[in-house]
Structure 1
Amino acid sequence: MKDQSPNSWEARADAHSFYGFTDLPTIENRGATVLTHGSGPYVFDVHGRQFLDANSGLWNMVAGFDHAGLAQAAKDQYDRFPGYHAFFGRMSDQTVMLSEKLVEVSPFESGKVFYTNSGSEANDTMVKMLWFLHGSEGHDQRRKIITRKNAYHGVTAVSASMTGKPYNSVFGLPLPGFLHLTCPHYWREGQPGETEAQFTARLAAELEEMILREGADTIAGFFAEPVLGAGGVIPPPEGYFQALQPILQKYGIPLISDEVICGFGRTGHTWGCEAYGFVPDAIISSKNLTAGYFPMGAVILGPQLTQRLQAASE
């Protein structure tokens, strides 16, 4: 039950804090859960109650809440050099080594990494990169972004426009030019008597129809989570990416794999794209990138996009 005393932690939380993604009437009835610390996969509140945090924080605390090695590494680095940027041709030695490692473990033979503060910001940055790249190559009209209904890509104005969730309509989103295909959920979206292979073929045909209807020369990129995370943990139907990628390549549309949730082992492979047998043009990473110990996102560019962005910058 909610502690009604005016100086309780719950009352103090209600008085001065907004909760993200929360049903406020429910909180009004039962109060917030104010946490103090964690141990392994468990968290503890101000009343000493223990909870199994089955969602791993926000899909990110995959090493637990008190991993001694991660905590010590962070403390040591704060003592040595607490933080820096990557502007003006400057970069910390740790950033250089991380970029090397990310490209090494990526499915790309070569590439470059651009860092952000979150997965939302990384998706937002990737869209800007695509707009910049196409514009520099003389294709200013290549602005539209294709994603899927029920997909989740973030909370910035651009990444929320990519997110195919109806609740974003309260913000007047999506912005113009953000297009959403059928959710690749065979159980819910399959037609009566339709096999999984036929469902995949129908979704591939829908993609090509959208490209032709909108104009291939207006499409900047296609973004997809290998497994839809916040959309319900929905794996793709069999052969899905193998059916879609040739269509995207046919019309010169980059395929971006949003691995904010899927990346670093959650599918049993380092990357979700590896689990489902495709190599994208770029990977969006966050969450497991730091195991939740500090906020960070990354755009990992494959060799072709690296070369094209390098040329655009020059």
Structure 2
Amino acid sequence: MIEAAMIWNEPNNKSHWDPEVDPGWERFAEMATLAGRAIREAHPTLPRVLGGISPIDPGFIRLLGAKGVLDQLDAVAVHGFPLDWNLWQIGEWPAKIAEIRAVTSHPVWVSEVGVSSFGAEEVQAWGLDRTAELLIGQAPRIHWYSLYDLPRAWEATTRHREAEGSSYYRHFYMGLLREDGSPKPSLERFARHAPAMGLCQWFHFEDHRLDEAVAWMRRLGVRYLRTGLSWADSFRPNALDWFDRQMQALAEFDVTVTFCFTPEHRGIAPHHTSAPLVPQEFAEFCAQMIRRYARPGVDAAGTAPVGAG
């Protein structure tokens, strides 16, 4: 059920990795290296991908390369939202990918790209078409974020929350579907670009949207999906039952599973962004999930861009 394993999410973004606990990314490098080795031992061919970086920073890739992290990876990934949060224009996407290609020989995935409908749903639809035009054929995987709007009763995974002003509320308008499940104009646009463009959809613990999401992805012709299995959630009651249900529901798709989120009681600081007290524990969680869900005999993905000749 897994085509690739992604180690963490946005490790150079303080909403996902606390730089006060780990200012030089020494602890992250140790954790990611151990996880990469553990995944390889659990599955000899499954691609291992660095969690998508945000911002897109070649210096961060060089830093991890100097620490030996890239030796335990098969691809790196980037995230970009130029119409919402980034200080660069959408037409710069090819140049941004080229910046990362210049500092690593690994394939460069786009594991999150999106446009919110916060300002106007027509802007999102235009941005989706433009993104597809710029990226299809340029990256082995392109995961559009996301299928669903984030429910307003939930919190966005960002450290600053409402202090971001209107930027915070854009997090709740990234979906092709509104919170109530009704389609936006961008949904039909997305269908034109599938399966070359995949989806990124995070499912919360016991997420009520799971089965409906699967039905929508079938209709849209989705082949590639990125989602997550939370290390923190693994300590909840009935966690494996939920993981089994989620992964069984997604079995027909080529799933990149992201392993992230430190359990509060296993972090140096009591927060999901903290470096763990014992990095080997994260590696063991990754290996356990791979043994449970990865298809045997998966070959390394990302050797040729989707849509390339």
Normalising by structure 2, report the TM-score: 0.36
The structure number with the bigger radius of gyration is 1
**Bigger RCO (CA 8 Å, 6+ sep):** 2
